[in-house]
């Protein structure tokens, strides 16, 4: 973590400790976004700042035309505000990168993300319904992909993230991670299907024993009656 991000970390009361999986769940893989994902996020921040800089520049030109004496002061304020805004956005992106963790367990998946607003979501493999690898043109150029994992009711509401959906963003081996999670999902479902079968087998054995005892008792009563 860069030293310039430390004050903002203390302000937001954020800790560098990675999250933990629920009790009883063994960790299989601990993933983080690839470094190219951080560079791509930096590029997004800079591109988003272009319209604002254009607007500020236009405002400075208008100020210079109407009040040339106040042009220098206005330009200084605009430059300072622009630099501070972009710097805070870049630091926030870096903090989110440092605090973003993807924990793949043997029975569940946990994703921790966010700088200003922290978000931790745990999905049980028993409820997973969809695994989708995402890659846009820029992600393809940077050699990264994202894995979206959804459970029942995973649709977003009004653009807000859902507790039934997580995205492992910016990972280099998304296809391998998808195969790993899919294998865990199959194992979890196979175990779930095996338990009812075992229970039914146990109940079937108990019923057979009872039938044998009833039959023996009936035979004994019949012999007693004949005697």
Residue at token pair 């990675």? 18
In a 10 Å sphere around its CB, with 0-12 CB exposed, 13-18 middle and 19+ buried, how is residue 140 labelled?
Answer: exposed
Residue 43 falls within a domain, yes or no? Answer: yes
Instruction: Give residue 21's domain range.
Output: 3-181
Confidence of residue 72 (pLDDT cuts 50, 70, 90): low
> Is residue 152 one of the residues assigned to a domain?
yes
Q: What does each C-alpha distance from 35 to 21, 62, 83, 114, 144 come to in angstroms? A: 24, 42, 24, 17, 9
Report which of 174, 166, 154 is spatially closest to residue 36, judged by C-alpha positions: 174
In a domain, 213, yes or no: no
> Is 30 inside a domain boundary?
yes
Terminal alpha carbon distance of the chain: 94
Between CA 26 and CA 104 the distance in angstroms is 9
- The average confidence (pLDDT) of the chain is 78
Residues 6+ apart with CB under 8 A from 162: 153, 154, 155, 156
Which position has the higher pLDDT, 158 or 90?
90
Residue 198 placed within a domain: no
Mean pLDDT value of segment 79-84: 81
Domain membership flag for residue 56: yes
Q: In whole angstroms, what is the distance from residue 30 CA to residue 9 CA? A: 23
The pLDDT tens digits for 113-147 are 988 888 999 999 988 999 999 999 999 999 999 99
> Can you read off the two tokens belonging to residue 127?
């409820």
Kind and range of the H or E run holding 31: strand 27-31
Is position 134 within any domain?
Answer: yes
pTM: 0.71
Which pair of structure tokens corresponds to residue 58? 């236009």
Q: Is residue 139 part of a domain?
A: yes
Residue where the block lists tokens 């921040």: 45
Domain total for the chain? 1
Least confidently predicted of 107-116, 151-160, 176-185: 151-160
E strands in 48-186? 101-105, 108-113, 119-124, 128-134, 145-151, 165-171
């Amino acid at each position: 973590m860069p030293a310039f991000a430390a004050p903002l970390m203390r302000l937001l009361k954020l800790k560098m400790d990675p999250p933990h999986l629920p009790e009883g769940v063994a960790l299989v893989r601990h993933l983080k976004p690839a470094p190219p994902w951080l560079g791509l996020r930096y590029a997004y921040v800079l591109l988003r700042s272009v319209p604002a800089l254009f607007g500020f520049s236009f405002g400075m030109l208008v100020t210079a035309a109407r009040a040339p004496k106040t042009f220098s002061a206005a330009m200084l304020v605009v430059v300072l505000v622009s630099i501070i805004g972009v710097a805070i956005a870049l630091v926030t992106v870096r903090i989110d990168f440092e605090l973003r963790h993807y924990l793949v367990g043997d029975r569940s998946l946990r994703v921790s993300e966010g700088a200003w607003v922290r978000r931790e979501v745990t999905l049980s493999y028993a409820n997973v319904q969809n695994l989708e690898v995402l890659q846009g043109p820029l992600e393809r150029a940077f050699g990264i992909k994202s894995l979206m994992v959804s459970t029942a009711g995973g649709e977003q509401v009004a653009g807000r993230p859902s507790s039934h959906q997580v995205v492992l963003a910016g990972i280099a081996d998304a296809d391998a991670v998808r195969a790993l999670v899919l294998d865990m999902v199959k194992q979890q479902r196979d175990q779930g299907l095996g338990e009812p079968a075992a229970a039914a087998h146990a109940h079937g054995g108990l019923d057979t024993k009872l039938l044998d005892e009833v039959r023996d008792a009936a035979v004994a009563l019949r012999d007693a009656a004949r005697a």
